[in-house]
Structure 1
């Protein structure tokens, strides 16, 4: 009986210790377009410091809604600074944050697609005219900045209305990239940072689109009021040369380049 009680207490202590350790790991909300760059940066930071981080990826608009409803994130990296402004105006951030990168759009197509990639989207227009554009992926423009810019670009080219029956929406730009290069679509407009990643590059083709064709994707990050010391340290690490070099390698422009 005594042995059973001791074992039970030990199990409870171990379980409680695990919960405390999990609670100490900072939760970070990051825009889906920085997933592969962020994974490398987090890996480098953990190797350097031994600190653990928990990163969730998704659309910036959805994260804002979650944070406003009490989601326990300590740091938010947005794909568009307007979402940081929405949080800072609510008084739940430490300040207005800092710009960490500038994003770019890419036109992509799976290897089996007849889509010709060009900056003017003439290849998209041709497939549409020929009735060959059946499925074309973008992120949901209602809450994903890269989807919003993709819609803006298609509208400027006079293609948006005619493509309505062909558009396939990803919940975020990472999912849109998966759709675009799955082989079941003719292509899509997604984040250049995702198209450049080895996981996607081996499955299709991509072309960086001129930044002059859409509203800048100014990516800003901000600490939440709940941020602990580890999160604050990582926030500063994200502004260091090693971290910025990773962002640059994934096609992002850096603040000092603007």
Structure 2
């Protein structure tokens, strides 16, 4: 018995060393529902293990510039990918999706489209309109462009989320009557999405897609950092391949 225990103890460090190290991946908050099923499928097929972090693109790029060990970043627009590439030579960039914006509103708000949102803001009938913080979130920049086009950017009673997922949570919880957020997350919250796991978020929200022509394009761009592992490269290939594109389209993203 003692001999068996000694053999097990000797074998333990070998087992620990054999376990693959997780690949750190930073992802835009609009991928919070669509990405995990793709990652799980890729893990089963490849044996790689991934550690996902979700947040605003600007914050994640700043973390990478400050030395965070991300191997792959899935950003919500191209400008943040360009900023990262300017600060870290040797990165690889490619588009993987087109972000879509949506108006989301509680049923009680009376807001049914952009015209009624504009009227509610001008009449002072809306107390809180949720968007992601434009200072570091591409969806916040897009939302502000829509409000500018409606002529109500200076009058909108904004409440800012750290990222687009938090902005949506303000509306879903009733803390804001309406918001301009990512279409995939809005569809998930309303139970309208066909993406895996989307229906778990519940319903009760009105979702109206915003025409892409009303805001600068959200060319969602991935960045492979210098020395990215085969696991990171494999996940990037999976995301931009047929299965990844089909899953992103089903979730509500456009395709580049």
User: Is the pair's TM-score, using the shorter chain for normalization, greater than 0.5?
Assistant: yes
Question: Does the alignment pair 1:144 with 2:137?
Answer: yes
Change (3 A) 1:229 1:207: same
Look up the SS of the partner of 2:49 in the other structure. Answer: coil
| Unmatched tracts of structure 1, length 5 or more | none
How far off is 1:44 after superposition?
1.8
2:164 is equivalent to residue 173 of structure 1: yes
Distance in 1, matches of 2:145 and 2:116, equals 18
- Higher alpha-carbon deviation: 41-50 or 79-88: 41-50
The secondary structure found in structure 1 opposite 2:159 is strand
1:97-112 equivalence runs, <5 A: 97-111=93-107
Can you give the 5+ residue segments of structure 2 that lack an aligned partner in the other structure? Answer: 189-198
**Gap change, CA 1:94 and 1:128, over 3 Å in 2:** closer
Secondary structure at the aligned position of 1:28 is classed as: strand
2:91 matched to 1:90? no
Equivalent-residue separation in structure 1 for 2:122 and 2:152 (angstroms):
10
Change in CA separation of 1:136 and 1:19 when aligned onto 2, cut-off 3 Å: farther
- Supply the RMSD in Å over aligned alpha carbons: 2.3
Corresponding residue to 1:48 among 38, 45, 48: 45
Do the aligned partners of 1:101 and 1:254 also contact (CA within 8 Å) in 2? yes
The 10-residue stretch of structure 1 (177-186 or 188-197) with the greater mean CA deviation from structure 2: 177-186
For residue 192 of structure 1, the aligned residue among 179, 183, 189 is 183
For residue 99 of structure 1, give the secondary structure of its aligned residue in structure 2: strand
SS in 2 for 1:36: coil
Partner of 2:35: 38
In structure 2, what is the Cα distance between the partners aligned to 1:18 and 1:171?
37
Aligned residues: 241
Distance 1:93 1:61 in 2: 20
Q: Which residue of 1 aligns with 2:152?
A: 159
TM-score normalised by the chain length of structure 1: 0.86
